[in-house]
Amino acid sequence: MLTVEDVTEVLRQVFDPELGLDIVELGLLYDVKIVDNSVTVFYSLTSIGCPAGPLIHEQILEAMRELPGVEKVALELTWDPPWTPERMSEDAKLLLGFGY
């Protein structure tokens, strides 16, 4: 049975090419909904004009195609709430100079 943890783990291979960290560590993964074998991924970008947006979108689709049991994928780009560095993991904050 497909779980949110399965989806989250596979999305750790999706990297923001500008920052060099995955979207989970960066706090760009907002939510995952699973109904039967359909998955909806709610994600954001670091900014509305993020040049890596199309690449991240495609990487998410590719990662989801590799996950056994997924038959349908929907991606929802959201700006609510807007992304801020506070959403990053503590490790990501330290690596990017936001830690103490």
Domains of the chain, CATH where assigned = 4-78 (3.30.300.130)
pLDDT of residue 97: 87
pLDDT of residue 98: 81
How many whole angstroms from its chain centre is CA 56?
A: 8
66-94 burial by CB neighbour count: b if 16+ within 10 A, else e? eeeebeebeeebeeeeebeeebbeeebbe
Distances (CA, A) of 7 to 2, 23, 36, 92: 8, 12, 14, 20
pLDDT in tens, the chain (100 residues): 899 999 999 999 999 998 899 999 999 999 999 999 999 999 999 999 899 999 999 999 999 999 999 999 999 999 999 999 999 999 999 988 886 5
Amino acid present at 54: P
Distances (CA, A) of 65 to 36, 37, 70, 96: 16, 12, 7, 30
pLDDT of residue 4: 96
Tell me if 80 sits within 8 A of 44, measured CB to CB: no
pLDDT of residue 99: 67
